[in-house]
Amino acid sequence: MSGLFRTPRSSMDFWQFTPQALLPLMAALAAASAAVQVWRRRDSPQAGWLATVLFGAAWWAGIAVLEYATTALWGKIFFSQLTYLGIELAPLAVWRFAYAYTHDGAAPSRGWRWLTNGWAGAVVVATFTNGWHHWLWSEVRLIDVDGFVQAWYGRGWLFWANVV
Report the number of distinct structural domains present in the chain: 1
The SS3 of residue 53 is: helix
Q: Is the pLDDT of residue 159 over 80?
A: yes
15-59 per-position pLDDT tens digit:
888 888 999 999 999 999 999 999 988 887 678 888 889 999 999
With a pLDDT cut of 70, the percent of the chain lying above it is: 92
116-146 per-position pLDDT tens digit:
999 999 999 999 999 999 999 999 999 988 8
DSSP label at residue 8: P
Q: Which domain holds residue 18?
A: 2-163
DSSP letters spanning 64-127: HHHHHHB-SHHHHHHHHHHHHHHHHHHHHHHHHHHHHHHTTTPPPPHHHHHHHHHHHHHHHHHH
Q: In the prediction, which pLDDT does 2 show? A: 43
Q: Is the pLDDT of residue 3 over 60?
A: no
Q: Is the pLDDT of residue 6 over 50?
A: no
CA angle 141, 145, 151 (to 5 degrees): 25
